[in-house]
Homo-oligomer: A and B are copies of this chain.
Amino acid sequence: MYNFKNDYAEGAHPTILQRLLETNLIQQNGYGEDEYCKLAKSAIKERLNNQFAEIYFVSGGTQANLLVISSLLRPHEAVISASSGHIFTNEAGAIESVGHKVISVSTNNGKITPSDIERTLQAYQLKPHVVKPRLVYISNTTEVGTFYNKKELQDLYAQCKANNLLLFLDGARLGHALMAPGSDLLLEDVSRFTDVFYIGATKNGGLLGEAVIFNHREVGTDFPYIMKQKGALLAKGRVLGVQFLCLFEGELYLKLAQHANLMAAKIAEAIQQQGYSFLADVASNQLFPILPNALIVELEKKYEFYVWQKIDDEKSVVRLITSWATDPKIVDALVQDIQAGSNSF
């Protein structure tokens, strides 16, 4: 059985483990003050082309989300999120747990638009009886695999700034977004057109780790206190520093995302060739094809994946995810199995 359920089924890219081994017994300062963290921050900062960027490494996406949001909001301030947003659906109430309401916005494709913002602000006028929207949370790629291009992000940020809102981008799969075919967004654009964002390593080659980046001086003050208070400051910060150094001293981070996207594209092509459609646009490493149930049953004999949603008695949506570690040979086999399975009906 091969796992297409998620993009965290393997450990880390071998380069990372190798570097952990090589540096293992070199004594370092604790709590992120080690030299690998410093080098990794320099490497990332260089890519951002933003001298004001402040970078911190944390363990995972839910942690990054709650740290950033609790650090930026006063008690009565709220977050605007797509209803498919990870913080709204799949973080066990993390944001509410630090005191803030998440206002959900229905979307077609997981993406928030300037007009969504406007509509939400109009619905929250009855001061002081309602919460005060203060931060917009977006994901790139989104939870359904779509991405923001440069113009979309720029416009959204302008709308936020015009309304005294902060824009926070969850980049658990930022590499996949940047490397998505058709995306014109660069890492430095993300640093220009958001207030704060993070770059996820957990789902793109790391054992664990997200790099949180505050893009200017008005945000991010005292963030290490918040990290410590919420249990996010690792004694051996080197574990995160070494990983991000490996990913960003060269092009490894982007190459790994590119591999994941390519594997997904191959599978998508095979599916399209058989005449099947998709729930959401094929854009990155998450596919949501609508397949005949008989084919699904056949594929489940060799592959693990989620049956996402029933369409009718004949068809269902499944979710297939590829990653930096997805084996091209298995993808070839899957492509053949899709073709064979389809032809047999």
Q: Residues of A at under 8 Å CB distance from B? A: 2-3, 6, 8-12, 14, 17, 20-21, 23-30, 58-67, 70-71, 74-76, 78, 89-94, 96-102, 126-132, 202-203, 207-208, 222, 224-236, 238-239, 325
Copies of this chain, complex-wide, total: 4
Chain B residues contacting A24 (CB-CB under 8 Å) are: 10-12, 14, 17
Known: A92-B129, A99-B96. A234 touches B59 (CB 8 A): yes
For this complex, 28 residue pairs linking A to B, each with C-beta atoms less than 8 Å apart, are A3-B27, A6-B30, A8-B236, A9-B27, A9-B28, A9-B30, A11-B23, A17-B20, A20-B20, A21-B21, A66-B231, A76-B97, A78-B93, A90-B129, A91-B129, A92-B131, A94-B228, A94-B229, A96-B96, A96-B131, A127-B225, A128-B228, A128-B233, A202-B236, A207-B239, A208-B234, A208-B236, A231-B231
A96 and B28 CA atoms in complex are apart in Å by 31
Q: Knowing A11-B24, A235-B60, A236-B202 are in contact, say whether A129-B97 is a contact too (CB < 8 A).
A: no
Tell me if B91 and A228 are in contact (CB < 8 A). Answer: yes
CA distance A66 to B232 in the complex (A): 11
- Chain B, residue nearest A90 (CB): B129
Could you tell me if B228 and A230 are in contact, using CB atoms closer than 8 angstroms? no
Assembly CA distance A21 to B29 (angstroms): 25
Question: B residues within 8 A CB of A232?
Answer: 63, 231
A66 to B98, CA, bound (A): 13
* Interface contact B59-A130, CB-CB below 8 Å: no
Whether A93 contacts B97 in the complex (CB less than 8 A), given A25-B10, A75-B229, A127-B225, comes out as: no
Q: Which residues of B contact A203 (CB under 8 A)?
A: 235
Give the top 7 A-B pairs by smallest Cβ distance, nearest first: A63-B231, A76-B225, A11-B24, A128-B224, A92-B228, A92-B229, A93-B131
New contact pairs (20) apart from A63-B232, A76-B93, A96-B96, CB-CB < 8 Å? A2-B27, A11-B25, A17-B20, A20-B207, A59-B234, A70-B75, A71-B74, A74-B222, A75-B97, A76-B92, A90-B129, A93-B101, A97-B99, A98-B99, A128-B222, A128-B229, A131-B225, A202-B236, A208-B234, A230-B231
**B8 touching A235, Cβ below 8 Å:** yes
In the complex, the answer to whether A71 meets B75 with C-beta atoms within 8 Å is yes
A305 to B21, CA, bound (A): 26
Q: Are B27 and A17 touching (Cβ within 8 A)?
A: no
List of B residues within 8 angstroms of A23 by Cβ: 11
Interfacial chain B residues near A102, Cβ < 8 Å:
101
Q: CB distance A239 to B93 under 8 Å?
A: no
- How close is A217's CB to chain B, nearest CB, in angstroms? 16
Query: Which of B27, B61, B94, B227 sits near A10, CB closer than 8 Å?
Result: B27
Q: Which residues from chain B contact A236 at a C-beta distance below 8 Å?
A: 8, 11, 202, 207-208
